Amino acid sequence: RFTVRGFLVDCQKGGAAASTTRRKLAAVRAFYTFLIRERAVERNPCAGLRGPRQERRLPDVLTLRQVAALLAAPLDALQARRDRSGVPPPPLDAYAAWRDAAIFEVLYSTGARVAEAAGLTRAAADLDSGIVRLRGKGRKERLGALGRPARETLRQALDFSAFIWPESARPDAPLFLNLKGGPLTPRSIERQMKRWLAAAGLPPRLSPHKLRHSFATHLLEAGADLRSVQELLGHASLSTTQIYTHVTVERLKDIYRDAHPCA
């Protein structure tokens, strides 16, 4: 056991990140579990040992201006194409633009994970009431709110998909479709976001999950209470949601440093 402790200390002295040290400890622990099962040793020297505390990195979030640019990018491109050609784009191309805009609107309006959005069906989204049923981790279901822009954009996308693929109007049909009429995957959503990030002049490192971070941060900055944000995000523990309070505090500090003459 002291040897393992020494190993962990050497990792930290060598500059290894806490996550790296914890991963190495897990590997050694798993190896000794195997040795015990094979009757090569009698006990696991890692039992009871804990790795260094994992540092919590503040999540990247988009500014309100960046969110607006991303949400507008697909439909701005569609309009620019219509202006250049003088004729409406083919229905499939129009659907792709409205679908991508609707995806970003839904992600930002509800704070959904990208896999949750990809798994939505038509029946899960009630555009009249502005409510969507999200199925999160552990198959737990929660309600998300669709704002007016999200409802309008999604309704237009659904009208196009029903015109192109009539069977997609069924209640059990996927809410978001690829250009062959099949369900859109999370990976496809990520690829499309990279495309529209470039079109909007935004950093390519941003991902769909950053819209979830932005959703939570912007709510807290506008005065929403932490418990409500926890419910909307579907977090099991309030401590998971509290990371966003640190984000808002850091942003307030930045504003203070930039604006106050004695900062």
Q: Which residues are catalytic?
A: 113, 137, 209, 212, 235, 244
Q: SS3 of 133, please?
A: strand
Please give the Cα distance from 214 to 220 (Å, whole number).
10
Sheet holding 131-135, edge to edge: 125-126, 131-135, 141-145
Q: Which amino acid is at 71?
A: L
- Could you tell me if 220 and 248 are in contact, meaning their C-beta atoms sit under 8 angstroms apart? yes
Please give the Cα distance from 78 to 25 (Å, whole number).
52
Comparing CA positions, the residue from 61, 4, 2 lying closest to residue 27 is 4
| 106 to 27, 125, 145, 166: CA distances (angstroms) | 40, 10, 9, 23
What is the enclosing helix (H) or strand (E) of 125?
strand 125-126
